[in-house]
Structure 1
């Protein structure tokens, strides 16, 4: 598709700022990852000036988005919020954001109060990404202090837009707000409300990962959580199962002799979900559910966890516990495909996972990695050709047999 021609000047309405597309995000991420991994490569190739120009253009676009969050048009405001979200998910922008923290926070507050539905959802998600960018210091605390009352009002308002409440429930949750999830029997609710409850439960589970031992002893919801396993919504059942596994892990860390009164009944429920053959449920839902609940059942019965290795750049990280998994999934929900990049470069996220300071990779290592990938590509291509050739011969033989 033809590119839109740029105007000679940088004046004009900020509503005319071009959206920050997924393609832009990919290009900018790759560009920044390259400069992060090999600071000297740009200069060596004589591209320092073009890199500075690209950075200047990128920051100009971000400033346009910030200004557009106060535009009269709701569509323009939402586009600006989404543009800022994409940028924060794919690049480290601490210095740029830190200088404009109060302006961005004010914009988020305004959109949460005066916006509707999708705009509120985008503003709430942007608030989380803003805190991920700023880290765990006083700057993030001030952002949360400003927005927390608004989040609480939206979450508690039953008449508020359901998408806004879903987004807010992911951003903010507390011990008290979890009561409506686990009191009484599992209600029959519509899919959107079920998603709200699921988000709230997962956020509550995330808070459990940073609770002290004394705080965990006061958690009284474990006997009630199994009721949510009976939900009609597969995501709610899975969230409840993973939260139960997390609580068992935390409880056993505190007391190796931890016992649960209704252990046999709980294991029967988990086993039924791990082997579910209900014909009224979608096949994809059943496969997803069975896979998760096999792991949950092992966690409850044996205290086991199926570890997973995450590779990013030249490093790797092992997800070896339910606590680590819940934390990783929470970050990944906000930064999406930018998660590996943030694991490489975001000091806050690296500190959470105890990865140490970001590692600068020299040009020789990067070159070796590229060669390795190229060789792997050649190997895969050769293997594909060999399989195709073998299958062609096999098909020819079947034709010969058919003719006899």
Structure 2
């Protein structure tokens, strides 16, 4: 199975130890099986083992119905079935159920990708990733990916295919490769496919920018992000060849804010990886790059939207620190009774990639999905007993009462201050 190089393992596990905490705002929601099916969320409270077994049986019956409906004649029905399976896989651990039916689900995904259109193909591409996330790294996900990889690559290379479908495939192919590819050389080949797309956004030799619409730019952005994701599992020898990409900073000049941000974060990731391999790493165009990053971190161009500028400045302040000082703005992720620190660009890119598919179920997967916990080196899933759950429920209620009282007090104080009609001239 593919494992990151030793240097990258160091990045992922630098501060990956799980730290239990007793804060009152521990998320109780992620301690139960999240599901969009309301009749299965409160089984334990409503009725004993019999009710729990019945609810689980009903839930699996619905899933079987979704699987059967993925081959329905109606495109609308197929779309609904794919969405139902996506929701279930994003919010629950279904390894045993899915493992028994993985080839059936894979065949349905392949059929929808080949014969479906638009939204159906996009849903099938996302479902492929969730299927691999559920199965984890191993022979089962490898078999799934061997079936779907040629289909993904054909769609990605087909200039006549729906552009939004190609965008979805670019993202899905990246994560599926991370999870299920068993040959590092095949990883490199897939990266070359992505590189063949996003390099089309480079400034031309005559200094002009290629003319392309926003949808094509988004395709190139997705390809760049997937390429960056696969950088995190490259060997040191491969990285030495890949790191010499003097043209990558050209993407910082893109008119599209998402492309600029993707390029900036990828550059920060490249610098981080380079410095792990060689603490004396130097970049020939370092001064010019820092000037570009500094300009984006303080961008005041009037023709750009305020929200875009605000988002861009925040990201590029962090990117500039990464390039100049090798610094990273750490972020703490809380889930259940645990917390994880995102303290490197490698971990950030990996976390963002998984979260794109599981969405609000990410905290639940961090707590219960053995594969994702292994990726972030969190150890085996922690079990929480009923007494702890009850204590956490009480503390959350108490915190709610405290916050309500504090809100009322603030409101009264502010109203009192406003009534004074302070003379602005005194300040």
- Deviation by residue 1:60-107 (Cα, 9 ceiling, x = unmatched): 111111011101111111111111111100000000100100000000
Report if the CA contact (8 A) 1:29-1:91 is conserved: no
Measured after TM superposition, the shift of residue 264 of structure 1 is 0.3
Describe the shift of the 1:102–1:143 C-alpha distance in structure 2 as closer, same or farther (beyond 3 A): same
Per the TM alignment, residue 110 of structure 1 is displaced from its structure 2 partner at its CA by 0.3
Describe how 1:44-63 pairs up with structure 2 within 5 A. 46-63=47-64
Aligned length: 393
The separation in 1 between residues aligned to 2:62 and 2:270, in whole angstroms, is: 45
User: Which structure 1 residue ranges, 5 or more long, are not aligned?
Assistant: 178-182
Higher relative contact order (CA 8 A, sep 6+): 2
Contact 1:20 1:83 in 2 (8 A): no
Higher mean C-alpha displacement, 362-371 vs 117-126: 362-371
Tell me whether 11-20 or 331-340 shows the greater mean CA deviation. 11-20
Change (3 A) 1:299 1:20: closer
Q: Which of 216-225 and 206-215 deviates more?
A: 216-225
Q: 2: CA distance between counterparts of 1:377 and 1:75?
A: 42
Is the contact made by 2:290 and 2:324 (CA closer than 8 Å) also made in structure 1? yes
Q: Would the alpha carbon gap of residues 45 and 4 (structure 1) be closer, same or farther in structure 2, given more than 3 Å must change?
A: farther
Please give the alpha-carbon distance, in whole angstroms, between the structure 1 residues aligned to 2:74 and 2:357.
26
2:110–2:148 Cα contact (<8 Å) kept: yes
Deviations 1:300-348 (A, max 9, x none): 0000000000000000000000000000000000100000000000000
- Provide Cα deviations, 1:96-150, integer angstroms capped at 9, x if missing partner: 1001000000000000110111111110110000000000010000111001111
Deviation at 1:31, TM superposition (A): 4.8
Q: For residues 165-189 of structure 1, what are the alpha-carbon distances to aligned partners after superposition, in whole Å with 9 as ceiling and x for unaligned?
A: 0111xxx999999xxxxx9965232
Partner of 1:318, secondary structure, is: strand
The normalised TM-score by structure 1 is: 0.85
Listed one character per residue, the Cα deviations across residues 153-209 of structure 1 (whole Å, up to 9, x for unaligned) are 0000000001110111xxx999999xxxxx996523211111111111000000000
Q: Can you list the C-alpha shifts for 1:204-235, whole angstroms capped at 9, x where unaligned?
A: 00000000100101115530110100111100
What is the DSSP-based 3-state SS (H/G/I as helix, E as strand, rest coil) of the residue aligned with 1:278? Answer: coil
Decide which moves more: 321-330 or 76-85.
Answer: 76-85
Which whole-Å CA distance do the structure 2 matches of 1:354 and 1:197 have between them?
Answer: 31
Q: Which moved more, 1:55-64 or 1:266-275?
A: 55-64
How has the CA–CA distance of structure 1 residues 44 and 88 changed in structure 2, closer, same or farther, with 3 Å as cutoff? closer
Which residue matches 1:366? Answer: 389
Does 32-41 or 89-98 show the bigger shift? Answer: 32-41
Structure 1 window deviating more from structure 2 (362-371 vs 132-141): it is: 362-371
CA contact (8 A) 2:225 2:262 kept: yes
- Report the more deviating stretch, 52-61 or 94-103: 52-61
| Higher mean C-alpha deviation, range 14-23 or range 26-35 | 14-23
1:398 CA displacement: 3.8
Tell me, yes or no, if the aligned pair for 1:186 and 1:227 is still in contact at 8 Å: no
CA distance in 1, matches of 2:116, 2:19: 22
Cα distance, 1:365 vs structure 2? 1.5
Q: Post-superposition shift, 1:288?
A: 0.2
Distance 1:273 1:5 in 2: 32
Matched-pair contact (CA < 8 Å) for 1:37–1:360: no
Of residues 57-66 and 368-377 in structure 1, the stretch that sits farther from structure 2 once superposed is 368-377
Measure, in 2, the Cα distance between the counterparts of 1:126 and 1:242: 27
The Cα shift of 1:5 comes to 56
Go from structure 1 to structure 2 and tell me whether the alpha carbon gap of 1:272 and 1:397 turns closer, same or farther (over 3 Å shift). Answer: closer
Listed as ranges, the matches of 1:221-260 within 5 Å are 222-260=245-283
1:366: Cα distance to partner? 1.4
After superposition, the Cα gap between the structure-2 partners of 1:362 and 1:252, relative to the gap in structure 1 and judged at 3 Å, is same
Whether the aligned pair in 2 keeps the contact of 1:105 and 1:127 (CA below 8 Å) is yes
The CA distance in 2 between the partners of 1:32 and 1:295, in whole Å, is 36
Mapped contact 2:69–2:81 kept (Cα < 8 A): yes
Greater Cα shift, 390-399 or 155-164: 390-399
What's the offset of the Cα at 1:350? 0.2
Structure 2 unaligned blocks of 5 or more: 170-196
Between the aligned partners of 2:5 and 2:284, the Cα distance in structure 1 is: 69
Inter-partner Cα distance in structure 1 for 2:8 and 2:237? 63
2:232 and 2:346 in contact (8 A); partners too:
yes
More off after superposition, 75-84 vs 255-264: 75-84
Conserved 8 A contact 1:90-1:341: yes
Cα displacement (A) at 1:389: 1.9
- The 1:108–1:44 alpha-carbon spacing in structure 2 relative to 1, beyond 3 Å, is closer
SS at match of 2:279: coil
